Structure 1
């Protein structure tokens, strides 16, 4: 280390120890020491000229010393303190100006241009790619809280960190990317995982509050066992319907991929007379695939209903208002009237629930019947197609002329 750097180190260490506000728990001496260390690592890997490296390290030592005077715009104050010190040491004006520019490049809204500016900026943000990122983030949060006098919500701080890592930061040198980008991505993944966990916990807490409030406000309703039975049965039917739709979509996607691959790779080869033996297996293969797609679509295709009812239907209890297909074309006033009439009549209400459960069962029976047929066709199609291709290849190889 040069004599000048030794003097700078002594000055900065004593200044930060003696003059830095105790509320500044992140941008303190330990942060400066870490930035100097990382700047030295980057400079060594970049193989900087010794003079350039020295100016980079000078800027690293001084870059946050302005916190002893001011918080907002501390970079400008840091550059001023550096200029005063370097002037007293007889450093040339052009070197002082370069050091100041490197320090000012640590502003987050400034785009670094020179290699030294980029290296210091990356060194200043090296904690983003550290395994101890969580500890650094907590220190920074505490510093902001102490300086502002306001408590930061955990979710707000988490969202701010996620946004910064996602949109607000990037390493400016290939060396920094190679050294820290991988861990930075892991840190971001951990933040996203924490965010998801907090959302789930908040959702559960909100649900518990709603349940407690409901228990306080509700009156005892008769026949709760019957209502629970309907609720559970309807939910189970809807879940089974979702499962059926998911299975149909899986088959539809798989067969669509198979068709696209066949059209792009297999069909063009059939133009060649030498590949004529592949025509029949290809037709079999594509035919089964198309049939599977059609059956998958039929399994998920919705039925369209009339969507209207009359007052006479309500009076005679002929319409089930719990199914949207029976009222989606009615105006709001008529629907509200019908619902009020149904809720006044216990038998009509439970009868509608029973019908809803029954027709859901019919829909499920149709869906699962089509799904079973689709899977069977798909399975048979794969087997038959493979056998057809094997036979075709075997017959072609058997009929090939022997030279």
Structure 2
């Protein structure tokens, strides 16, 4: 498994080929999720080299499906992983593990392993962070560009409220470190909706 070359390959593809209107699902998001995943893995006691490399690869490829399609990008990402990773000496079993993690991030999230739980929590780590507002704004702009949401702040806040209510973190670390802040974001959005 040549994780370093696979990383260079996918980062170059994301930097040069993603649609310009992916304001949220950009290479910046991929790097943010990868960093969060590795921090969560350490906090969750994932110390062995192979699981960490598989998690890192899944994080780097988790939104690579956007290179091919907007809808069902997780499935497209799995296809891409199957097409590309054998060339970087990943075994069929390793590729399946990576695909299972990527598939778990599809909303509503459905992780079936500890590594998948970590990736799911890393993917939505920002919900409980101080930089929630600017990151959420990039998602708003992306949804506007694709006519998923109107340029109506109340409609956007209602959508965010529904999302935050439905979302939950999976790992003990994310619950401990992010849940209270996420609830504070939800309260702030509800206050905006009430005013």
Cα deviation, residue 95, structure 1: 0.8
Instruction: Kindly indicate whether the alpha-carbon contact (under 8 Å) linking 2:30 and 2:60 is maintained by their aligned counterparts in 1.
Output: yes
- What is residue 72 of structure 1 aligned with on the other side? 71
Give the drift of 1:180: 0.7
Residues 1:101 and 2:96 are matched in the alignment:
no
Q: 1:187 aligns with which of 170, 185, 192?
A: 185
Distance 2:147 2:20 in 1: 14
Pair 157,132 (structure 1): closer, same or farther in 2 beyond 3 Å: same
Q: Which residues of 2 match residues 85-234 of structure 1 at below 5 A?
A: 85-148=84-147, 151-166=150-165, 168-197=166-195
Equivalent in the alignment of 1:46: 44
The CA deviation string for residues 126-148 of structure 1, in whole angstroms up to 9 with x for no partner, is 01011111111111010011122
Shift of 1:90: 2.2
CA distance in 2, matches of 1:170, 1:98: 23
Note the C-alpha offset of 1:52.
1.0
Q: Structure 1 or 2: larger helix share?
A: 1
Match of 1:34 in 2: 32
Structure 2 length-normalised TM: 0.94
Deviation string, structure 1 residues 47-72 (Cα, Å, up to 9, x no partner): 21221111111100000011111000
Q: What's the CA shift for 1:7?
A: 1.2
TM-score by length of structure 1 reads 0.47
Shift of 1:151: 3.0
Unaligned 5+ residue runs, structure 2? none
| CA distance in structure 2 between the aligned counterparts of 1:149 and 1:41, rounded to whole angstroms | 32
What's the Cα RMSD here? 1.4
1:298-309 equivalent positions in 2, closer than 5 A: none
Question: Which residue of the partner structure matches residue 346 of structure 1?
Answer: none
Residues matched between the structures, number: 194
Q: Is the 8 A contact 1:158 1:195 kept in 2?
A: yes
**Contact map agreement 1:66 1:81 (CA 8 A) in 2:** yes
Largest Rg, 1 or 2: 1
